Amino acid sequence: MKIIHTADLHLDSRLSANLPADKRKIRKAEVLRSFARLCEYAAANEVEAVLIAGDLFDNAAVSRNARDSVLAAVKSAPGVQFYYLRGNHDEGGALTGNPSAGNGDASGAIPANLHLFESRWTSYKLDPSGSVVLYGAELGAFSGAAAAAGFVADESKINIVMLHGQEVLSASAPEDIPIKAFKNKGIDYLALGHIHSYKEGQIDGRGTYAYPGALEGRGFDECGPKGFILLDIDIEKKKIERTFVPFALRTLYTVEADVSGAADTVAALEISRRAVAETGAKETDLIKLVLTGETEGDIGFDTDYICAALSEDFFFVKVADKTRLAFNEASFAGDISLRGEFVRKVLASGLTDEEKAKVVRCGLLALSGEEVLQ
């Protein structure tokens, strides 16, 4: 039996933090399309169930297009059963229905193969024999600690539990999930959502837990491979094999390039190209380049030039200059020029070392007649 565990799709996200309007429009459509692609994958690969462990949508105000796209994707895979547990971003209830009935609301808007949960334990049999059982509860009013305390399962079954929240050692907030509290409760797999990067761990000698991470990276705080977890269950042997499946259309990278010693922008660009190439990034990917290292006071890198050059090779590029100014403070001690007076005043100020370096660098560039680039 094959099951997909996904979470944190954040469909309908604005994606306004980094991207210009044209790229944002493309990415928003791609993120929305990611769920439909997942449904197509499930149908084509004999997956029997898809577990959505929260944050299917990004906020309470879900567009009609996003809602209709999700419902159409679920309906397009009638042989796959979908189990959707709302997360903290799903508060609007874009998909409503009667969880206890298991087949949607009276209007028929919710497909028969889409099953929902409540703020209490709800269970579903995932196979005809009832050997594999899924439990889920939406946290908030029902806390993670209360969920753990009230959980009861038949230990003779293969038990999968789905929750959305932060894994912790000791719960202090309603959406904290105390992993230790689920120890020795007959759980074989704890399907979690909330953390946007893949993570796994052990509950006890029997069970494991995992976060699949986001299905698509939306910002540079979500770099690296993104995808879902494929569970392959051998019911007879009561064994679960877990595989992370990279699935994102595009990958985001934050790349640091040490440009110490670069004489000019062209040299810095070549160093940057090599640093980006080492990541294995493809032309479809998004790059945040961070220039690091130490530079002389009269060297200023044209980040717009570097960005434009790299943008020819990738879907999106942004460049940040985080280089530090390298200079000998003693060399300015006896300098009676305006340059020396400026440096001494900055060094005597109450700014942090990082702030002093930035101010001195900009000042020296301005005094030498160069354009000050941010």
Q: Give CA–CA dist 257/268, Å, rounded.
A: 8
What value does the CA radius of gyration of the chain take, rounded to a whole number of Å?
26
First to last CA, the chain: 55
Give the span between the Cα atoms of 128 and 348, in whole angstroms: 76
Residue 235 CB contacts under 8 Å (≥ 6 apart), including other chains: 1, 127, 129, 131, 132, 158
pLDDT, position 94: 73
Cα gap 58→86, rounded to integer Å = 11
Chain-centroid distance of CA 10 in Å reads 9
CA distance 261 to 294: 7
Q: What is the pTM of this model?
A: 0.85
Domains, in order of start, for the chain = 2-246 (3.60.21.10), 252-367 (no CATH)
Contact in structure between 99 and 117 (CB atoms under 8 Å): yes
Residues linked to residue 243 through DSSP beta bridges, in sequence order: 230
Q: State the pLDDT at residue 250.
A: 97
339 sits in which H/E element:
helix 338-347
Give the Cβ contact number of residue 188 at 10 Å.
Answer: 22
Name every residue whose Cβ is closer than 8 Å to that of residue 43 and which is 6 or more positions away in sequence.
Answer: 76, 77, 79, 80
CA 192 to chain centroid, in Å, comes to 14
Question: What's the pLDDT at 101?
Answer: 36
Distance CA 182, CA 180 (A): 5
Dihedral sign (CA 275, 277, 281, 287): positive
Task: Report how far residue 194's alpha carbon sits from residue 213's, in angstroms, rounded to the nearest whole number.
Answer: 8
Rounded Cα gap, residues 123 and 79, in angstroms: 20
How many of the other CB atoms lie within 10 Å of CB of 186? 19
Rounded Cα–Cα distance for residues 156 and 201 (Å): 22
Per-residue pLDDT of the chain (374 residues; tens, 9 = 90+): 999 999 999 999 888 778 999 999 999 999 999 999 999 999 999 999 999 999 999 988 889 999 999 999 999 999 999 999 999 888 776 786 543 333 334 344 789 999 999 999 999 999 999 999 999 999 988 999 999 999 999 999 999 999 999 999 888 888 999 999 999 999 999 999 999 999 999 999 999 999 999 999 999 999 999 999 999 999 999 999 999 999 999 999 999 999 998 999 999 999 999 999 999 999 999 999 999 998 875 567 999 999 999 999 999 999 999 988 776 666 666 777 887 788 888 888 988 877 777 787 777 767 766 565 55
